[in-house]
Chains A and B, each alone.
Chain A
Amino acid sequence: MFFRMLIESFVRRRSRKLLAVAAVWIGLSLVIGLLALGLDVGDKLNREMRSFGANIQLQPAEAAVDVRVGGYELVAPGRTVYLDEADLPRLKQIFWRNNILAFAPRLTTQARLAGRSVPLVGTWFNHHVLLEDADPFVTGAAEVFPYWQARGAWPMNPESCLVGAALAQELDLGPGDRVELTTDQRSTSVRIVGVLTSGKDEDEAIVAPLSVVQRLAGLPGKVAEVQISALTTPENKLAERYGRDPQSLTPAEYERWVCTPYPGSVAADIQNAVPGSSARVVRRVAETQGAVLGRIDGLMLLLGIFVLIASTLSIMGVLSSAVLERRGEVALLQAVGAHRADVLRLFLTEAVAIGLAGGVLAALTGQVLGGWLLRVIFDSASEPHGVLLILAPLLGLLIAVAASVPPVWRTVHQQAARLLRGV
């Protein structure tokens, strides 16, 4: 009889029940949508903030003293503190390989151009890094430095290069011009395919494919540093403690630190993978990203709490009034001999069914909503979050039960006689 009552209550009062399910569904869809967005927004923002440039820099471990002139590291003949270009594919074989979004090696030397010495920067452009058991990873300066703007084209072969915007203006160079670059070792003729604006030192340099610079510098297969753009988590107190004193972490904390993509732990992983290297976090970029992500996370959390409260109140309003309008029925059940627990059981089972139904629907539509928001805001697709498929029905159940218990509880403790008289 209990299930007959339950089923008939749903079948023959379906409009009321649908209204209740719809309240849970719509209310929770907003919450789940926001949660789905919140789960994705950090990742998406992180990717968006790649425009800040690399957040990890890899250098030879022995390059303790940099010799820099005008912001450029001078490569002295015979100096051996370089990294091997051949080791760089290891960056995509580390534990955090999926967090390595892009990287570009760099080798800088001085070349003679039109009778004067100019900085010559070598790097990758649209470079295919060959990986074992995986498709080639395409990366280069354009990926690591999204703020680089090339008027014209990017160099796609060893006979082409970019000229920095300031140098181009000074020497009256532009796309299509052919220039002769000379070093102490060699000389080569390259064609300018684009004018580079980076807002930094590259504006006064010739930027050419790495192989060109390696040949002119007499350093085949060598790179001076690697700029890496990695997806990281903002540093927290744990990461800060590790930064101050790695020994202060307990084994469990260290395990957590290693398994979280803090800039420091990703850098450590990189450093371990590339022989003779030293990876350091570019604090300016990492901290800016961390600060922005921290604030966005806080904002999302606050929004999520507000939406959850608003939705919960709205759902509770609908469910509570649905119970309250059945006070007469509660009183009748007691009049024909039902105990208070019997009445509570009936109404709670209904609430559980409503909460679960609304929650399951919200799990689906909430994720669709979150995906739509992500597409609108970041022009990016989202992936389903399994945790939300469990969380939404659970939330629906909790809210529905929380909304139903107080009015039923109050009703079963009221004078049934008064309720039957409609007082």
Chain B
Amino acid sequence: MNQSAVLLEYVTRAYPGGVRAVDGVNLKIALGEWVSLMGPSGSGKTTLLNLLDGLDRPTDGCVHVMGQNLLQLDVDEAATFRRENVGLIFQQFHLVSYLTAVENVMLAQYYHSMVDKQEALLALERVQLADRAHHLPSQLSGGEQQRVCIARALINDPKIILADEPTGNLDEDNADRVVKIFQRLHREGRTLVIATHDPDLGRLAQRIVCLRHGQIVEECSPDGSDAAPRATGAGASHDRDVMHVTAS
């Protein structure tokens, strides 16, 4: 259908009572691109990520991810799509409390295809957690839990990684480790969409998309080029608002 990793067309997510968490957003993200979603709390970053991973559905507009129109998928098909294509990283980690680190990684393998403990251990090794593989989440620090979450997100070799405030609950050292993982993933050619408040993390992306009140109010590159504010709303034209950015 197209070569982009993400294509959003006039996407709106409204809640009962008239609140529009995402309001007429048009956005295109190329394969292999690293995009940071930035903006104040309540600006719609997390909602936008949830629309991209199929955990939520827009009330209006179209969401294409890796060429798949997510609106055509029911809940179970969306789950299948996620396990085949998407790696999710949460601010709250969301590890299963009664499973060890390696078992949490194996959980994603189980729903994807088949369990391979060695591979899961290798994934933990890649996030420098091999020695904590058999610890329960309650026995791990926040940074360690986040790295387990990343290992779980990566275990099925996803085409796109969606991360919601991945360093939000981490100290500086752990945040640095996580950032290095993202940089490595980007070098490997994966598409990264990271919602963050952290300007240091945000600046590492190729493109920063700023949201406010559910609308994209600015897009820029970290070095300041292409910094012109872009008003994107329900009334904006498609050609003007859909960004065409090629991964460097």
* Size category, A interface: 20 to 34
Chain B CB within 8 A of A116 CB: no
**Nearest-Cβ distance from residue B160 to partner chain A, whole angstroms:** 14
- Interface residues as binary, B88-119 with A (CB distance below 8 Å gives 1, 0 otherwise): 10101010111100010011111110010000
B111 lies within 8 A of A337 (CB): yes
B108 lies within 8 A of A337 (CB): yes
Contact of A5 among B50, B56, B99 (CB under 8 A): B99
- Kindly identify, within residues 62 to 85 of chain B, every residue whose CB is under 8 Å from any CB belonging to chain A: 75-76, 79-80, 82-84
Give the one of A336, A412, A420 with max B CB within 10 A: A336
B56 lies within 8 A of A337 (CB): no
B110 lies within 8 A of A1 (CB): yes
A334 lies within 8 A of B94 (CB): no
Q: Which residues of B contact A8 (CB under 8 A)?
A: 98-99, 103
CA–CA, A315 to B188, complex, Å? 52
A4 lies within 8 A of B103 (CB): yes
- Kindly identify, within residues 316 to 341 of chain A, every residue whose CB is under 8 Å from any CB belonging to chain B: 328-329, 331-341
CA–CA, A4 to B98, complex, Å? 10
Give the one of B75, B79, B82, B112 with max A CB within 10 A: B79
Contact of A338 among B55, B79, B88, B94 (CB under 8 A): B79
Chain B CB within 8 A of A417 CB: yes
Chain A CB within 8 A of B152 CB: yes
Q: Which residues of A contact B56 (CB under 8 A)?
A: 415, 417-418
CA–CA, A331 to B75, complex, Å? 12
B98 lies within 8 A of A336 (CB): no
Given the contacts A1-B110, A332-B94, A417 and B50 also touching, CB distance less than 8 Å: yes
B107 lies within 8 A of A417 (CB): no
Contact of A420 among B94, B103, B109, B115 (CB under 8 A): B94
A420 lies within 8 A of B55 (CB): yes
Closest to A9 in B: B98
Contact of B111 among A342, A418, A421 (CB under 8 A): A342
**Nearest-Cβ distance from residue A338 to partner chain B, whole angstroms:** 5
Closest to B88 in A: A335
Chain A CB within 8 A of B53 CB: yes
**Nearest-Cβ distance from residue A282 to partner chain B, whole angstroms:** 67
Chain B CB within 8 A of A12 CB: yes
CA–CA, A422 to B111, complex, Å? 23
Chain A CB within 8 A of B130 CB: no
Chain A CB within 8 A of B167 CB: no
Q: Which residues of B contact A13 (CB under 8 A)?
A: 97-98
B76 lies within 8 A of A336 (CB): no
Given the contacts A1-B110, A415-B56, A420-B90, A339 and B98 also touching, CB distance less than 8 Å: no
Given the contacts A5-B99, A8-B98, A336 and B108 also touching, CB distance less than 8 Å: yes
Given the contacts A340-B75, A416-B55, A421-B46, A335 and B112 also touching, CB distance less than 8 Å: no
**Nearest-Cβ distance from residue B123 to partner chain A, whole angstroms:** 14
Q: Which residues of B contact A420 (CB under 8 A)?
A: 55, 90, 92, 94
- Interface residues as binary, A120-146 with B (CB distance below 8 Å gives 1, 0 otherwise): 000000000000000000000000000
Q: Which residues of A contact B98 (CB under 8 A)?
A: 8-9, 11-13
**Nearest-Cβ distance from residue B50 to partner chain A, whole angstroms:** 4
A336 lies within 8 A of B152 (CB): yes
Chain A CB within 8 A of B136 CB: yes
- Kindly identify, within residues 34 to 51 of chain B, every residue whose CB is under 8 Å from any CB belonging to chain A: 46-47, 50
B88 lies within 8 A of A339 (CB): no
**Nearest-Cβ distance from residue A134 to partner chain B, whole angstroms:** 61
B75 lies within 8 A of A336 (CB): no
Q: Which residues of B contact A1 (CB under 8 A)?
A: 106-107, 109-110, 115
Contact of A332 among B80, B96, B109 (CB under 8 A): B96
Q: Which residues of A contact B47 (CB under 8 A)?
A: 417
A339 lies within 8 A of B76 (CB): yes
Given the contacts A5-B107, A8-B98, A337 and B55 also touching, CB distance less than 8 Å: no
Q: Which residues of B contact A336 (CB under 8 A)?
A: 82-83, 88, 107-108, 111, 152
**Nearest-Cβ distance from residue B145 to partner chain A, whole angstroms:** 13
B111 lies within 8 A of A329 (CB): no
A337 lies within 8 A of B112 (CB): yes
CA–CA, A401 to B100, complex, Å? 28
Give the one of A2, A339, A422 with max B CB within 10 A: A339
CA–CA, A13 to B80, complex, Å? 29
Enumerate the 3 nearest inter-chain pairs by beta-carbon distance, A residue then B residue, closest first: A337-B83, A1-B110, A12-B98
A–B Cβ pairs within 8 angstroms, 23 of them:
A1-B107, A5-B103, A8-B98, A8-B103, A12-B136, A333-B107, A333-B111, A334-B55, A335-B88, A336-B82, A336-B107, A336-B111, A336-B152, A337-B79, A337-B82, A337-B83, A337-B111, A338-B79, A412-B75, A417-B47, A417-B56, A420-B55, A420-B90
A8-B99, A11-B98, A337-B80 known; 14 new pairs, CB 8 Å cut-off, are A1-B106, A2-B110, A332-B96, A333-B107, A334-B75, A336-B83, A337-B108, A337-B111, A339-B76, A340-B75, A417-B47, A420-B55, A420-B90, A421-B46
